[in-house]
Amino acid sequence: MYEQISHAVLNEILSSFKQPAGKDWHYFYTRLGANFYAIYSLFQHLYGQREDFKPQLGRLVEVLATQYAQRAPHLRAKDLEREKNHDWFMQQKWVGMALYSQGFAGSLANMRDKLPYMQDLGINLVHIMPICDCPAHENDGGYAVRDFRKVDARHGTMEDLEQLIAAMQQCGILLTLDVVVNHTSDEHAWAQQAKQGNQTYQDYYFMYPDRTLPDLFESAMPEVFPEQAPGSFTFNADTGKWVMTVFNHYQWDLNYTNPAVFIEMVDIILFWANKGVDILRLDAVAFLWKKIGSSCQNEREAHLILQLLKDCCQIAAPGVIFIAEAIVSPTEIIKYFGEDAINAKECEIAYNATFMALLWDAVATKRTVLLTKGVEDLPEKLDRATWLNYVRCHDDIGLGFSDKAIIEAGFEPVSHRRFLVDYYTGHYPESNARGFAFGVNKKTGDARISGALASLAGLEMALQTQDLLAIENAIKTIVLLHNLILSFGGIPLIYYGDAVGTLNNDSYLQDENKMHDNRWVHRPTLDWEVMARRHQPGTVEQRIFSQIKQLIAIRKETSAFADLNNRALITQDNPHLFAFHRYVPSGMHANVVVIANFATQAQQVNLQPFKQRGLFKARMMTDLCSGSTISTEQETLEIPTLTAYWLSS
């Protein structure tokens, strides 16, 4: 919008602006003019009280122009294409995979040879876990960055990455990379300058000469890792100051009350956008703003920073979108799309951690009451926003569903969470799961869960005992969980190795840098001889891979699976069943009913609730998953053990 004050400031900035060399500047100026009122307003709210407000704002515009000038022609063309098709990422054709390049292929260079595997499975969006340069030892799995513009030598070189990006673009595969926006390694150049007493860079962090302010901060801040990294400040002997370290002592939190930090991060984000990255995963966004007397999580200013990042990116690289890495409650996560808006104005994509945890609850209890209650409580997302739905990821499983939902499902919150931890660590009598408790809080008894999908689903135990029924049920569980993330609504994100039933890997215990973090048990190094079994009929790997591959192919052809706020939950009397309706006005399979059975016995579903909604009008329906024809003339329908139907007429 046009607003006199902000545009007077813009005119002042542009009057002394030296335009970098390049063509097509009218797109830059059009986007800058359209976004500048929002940028000015946000920047003024965050930094308007500073004497250097206008010079910093001018510096921000300079960074945007420089990065725009460096954007390659084919990326500018992609920007224009995606501006015309602004909901491109919400289409059902996208299916993602998250992986570590070393664990998946050994290196970025080797990943080029593994692209046929992606194409075989149907993957066309790949999230490569952190690859930026980080210290050899204290690096938090790559999330303690030493250099944001350098590829870590353990993964390869920038040239390797550029060649991989070019190959992925030829295959039509999107790339997602991480930008760790909340903190740096204490070995980052900024931190090194701060340690040497450079006040400019000490102002990039939260550094205090005594415990007065740290104590005030910590009085309201929950500990992220209470056992391994208690407290939120670390004493730095080089400076004699206390440094804010919310996660680990070697991860220094960035101070976003300093506009120079924000501008540095814009520059870094656009650097990676110009490398050809399609989606940027912004790590730890809930922690971006620190305020004494608050939890220093989910602060309003953190959202304003994300809005400002989005507005800036839309000027220089509008085809790039953001993922919010914020594993928080549903009422908080929905805010990372943007409040008081129709379309996403912060991040277009967010992790649906609640749905993931609810699925694991249903697997353990064989009941779907909590799953249904939890999904009912999920706030409706914005129109131009979508979820990442996943079964497993590189992180632990947090039991983040609300106490209210647990109580409404008929459980007591504390004892139910303890049951789930016992179940997935194999300490519950009827459990075949083989996982590990992570982040145990001895004060509260809370814990999270580590473990590979297949091991948590019982496959590891079943193979050890050669229990054929248990093997069958474990395979069905793995496929069922993937069935639901593929159909629920959003972008399904498959974790590497899960499509062939990769088990827990305890080799991390031999590495002194990893042995104290049991999350490495589900961060495997893939054995490609084992992976090759996916082509051998009758193997566990083939049985899992072939079914997931088929589901992916069917999803891509099913128009109802586009994510357009087009899902209606259908409550069931049978506590073992979970059902919902996906729909669009037109297209192939515009109406699909998903009915899932989490029990280890076949279950009857009452069809009346569906028919009352105008569904199942045809006498015969097709289960898209199997291609079989199913009669709906009777009052009930049988859903087999650990199976989900996709029913369409």
Question: What's the 3-state SS for 266-320?
Answer: HHHHHHHHCCCCCEEEEECHHHCCCCCCCCCCCCHHHHHHHHHHHHHHHHHCCCC
> 166 by DSSP, 3-state: which?
helix
Which CA distances in Å does 490 have to 95, 99, 339, 390, 563?
Answer: 9, 19, 19, 10, 5
Residue 207 has φ and ψ, to the nearest 5°, of -130, 130
Q: Which two tokens stand for residue 342?
A: 């129709």
Residues in a beta bridge with 644: 596
- CA distance readout (Å), 216 to 235, 292, 298, 314: 16, 6, 18, 38
325 part of the active site: yes
- Name 591's bridge partners: 583
Q: Which of 160, 178, 325, 498 is catalytic?
A: 325
Residues 522, 524, 527, CA angle at the centre, nearest 5°? 145
Q: Who's near 192: CB < 8 A, 6+ residues apart?
A: none
CA angle 317, 320, 325 (to 5 degrees): 130
Report the chain's terminal Cα–Cα distance, integer Å.
Answer: 47
CA–CA separation, 213 and 385 (whole Å)? 38
- Report residue 369 as tokens: 């009451």
Task: For residue 225, give both structure tokens.
Answer: 């890792």
Nearest one of 552, 617, 558, 611 to 584, comparing CA atoms? 558
* Residue of 79, 140, 152, 283 marked active site: 283
Query: 151-155 contacts: CB < 8 A, separation 24 or more?
Result: 151/108, 154/102, 155/101, 155/102, 155/107, 155/108, 155/131
Strand partners, 637: 605
Q: Which residue, among 156, 158, 150, 152, has the nearest Cα to 139 in the 3D structure?
A: 152
Alpha-carbon span 343 to 140, nearest angstrom: 34
Q: Which residues are catalytic?
A: 283, 325
